[in-house]
Amino acid sequence: MKPALFEYHRAASVAQAVDLLAEDPGAMILAGGQSLVAAMNFRLAAPSRLIDITRIPDLDRIAVTAEGVAVGAAVRHRTLERHDGAHAVNPLIRAAQAHVAHVPIRNRGTVVGSLCHADAAAEMPLVLLLCDGWVELEGPGGNRRIPAEQFFRMHLTTARASDELATRAVFPALPPDAGWAFAEFARRKGDYAIAAVGAIVQCDAGGRITRARLAACGISSKPVRLGRAEAALAGGTADATAAAEAGRAAATHVDAADDSIATAAYRRHLVAALTERVVAEAAARARRGTE
């Protein structure tokens, strides 16, 4: 199929892109276009105006600072995946990026575009939430920062207003003593996750868990923190028993209904198994860091 007619504009600056958005409520941003163009071809999206932001200076930059990894709105998945500086301060990014679609898609699709698309089974929203990151927006009223916890509202829906441009996302650096892990199960390599779980775990010298963060995607209408699993781990010993208990607690967060891909019961089984796996792996990394 072919898309409906639309205007095409190539913005030269963030200010111009914001002005173009404000002029037309039916306008949409074009960066990588890997989700948007397909939706347009199927007439699931019919923007009256496309605003290309790929030539705006600095939006294709990755900045690694003590704060973390700041990813511009035009940065491709593959560029971030292969960025050694980003990997050094937050290895979860590369681990998750390896599961995002296929290399040709990662060569064109953008990280911030994936965050704004907000598919409930996508990997990068999970990582942003897990790391307590945020998205920065520019609109007619100025700029604002929205934490990941508030940015993702439901499947394909975010807190970004229609006249705002997401200019960058920031993935905070992991604590130097933290262990990390990411695991996903999909029908085929490159598919969206049926369930995926990420973990950040910190341990003391005695192997006791001092802090744990867990998040999952594919199990609800948006990426979710696994708070009950985190509570199950708090203050406990980082062993197989604790990992299994966290898995059982994580399964209680599944609220996705049965669908053509998996039943809710199967997703509960998956998220429990994946949580057990990532907790064990992250705790092992954390223990090695305290030795």
pLDDT tens digits, 93-114? 999 999 999 999 999 999 999 9
Q: 201, 175 in Cβ contact below 8 A?
A: no
Q: 180, 288 in Cβ contact below 8 A?
A: no
CA 263 – CA 215 distance, rounded (Å)? 20
What global pTM score does this model have?
Answer: 0.97
With a cut of 80, say whether residue 290 has pLDDT above it.
Answer: no
Q: Which amino acid does the sequence have at 143?
A: N
Could you tell me the pLDDT band of residue 291, with boundaries at 50, 70 and 90?
very low
Q: What is the overall mean pLDDT for the chain?
A: 96
With a cut of 90, say whether residue 67 has pLDDT above it.
Answer: no
Q: How many helices (H) and strands (E) does the chain have?
A: 12, 14
Would you give the end-to-end CA distance of the chain in angstroms? 59
Q: Is pLDDT larger for residue 207 or for residue 27?
A: 27
Q: 278, 181 in Cβ contact below 8 A?
A: yes
Q: Which amino acid does the sequence have at 284?
A: A
pLDDT of 141 reads 95
User: Mind listing the pLDDT tens digit for each residue in 72-82?
Assistant: 999 999 999 99
Return the number of other C-beta atoms located less than 10 Å from residue 28's C-beta: 18
User: Mind listing the pLDDT tens digit for each residue in 186-207?
Assistant: 999 999 999 999 999 999 988 8
Q: 7, 20 in Cβ contact below 8 A?
A: no
Q: Residues of the chain with pLDDT > 70: what percent? A: 99
Return the number of other C-beta atoms located less than 10 Å from residue 221's C-beta: 15
Could you tell me the pLDDT band of residue 11, with boundaries at 50, 70 and 90?
very high
Domains observed in the chain: 7-52 (3.30.43.10), 62-172 (3.30.465.10), 179-290 (3.30.390.50)
pLDDT of 66 reads 80
Residues making up the chain, counted from first to last: 291
pLDDT of 136 reads 98
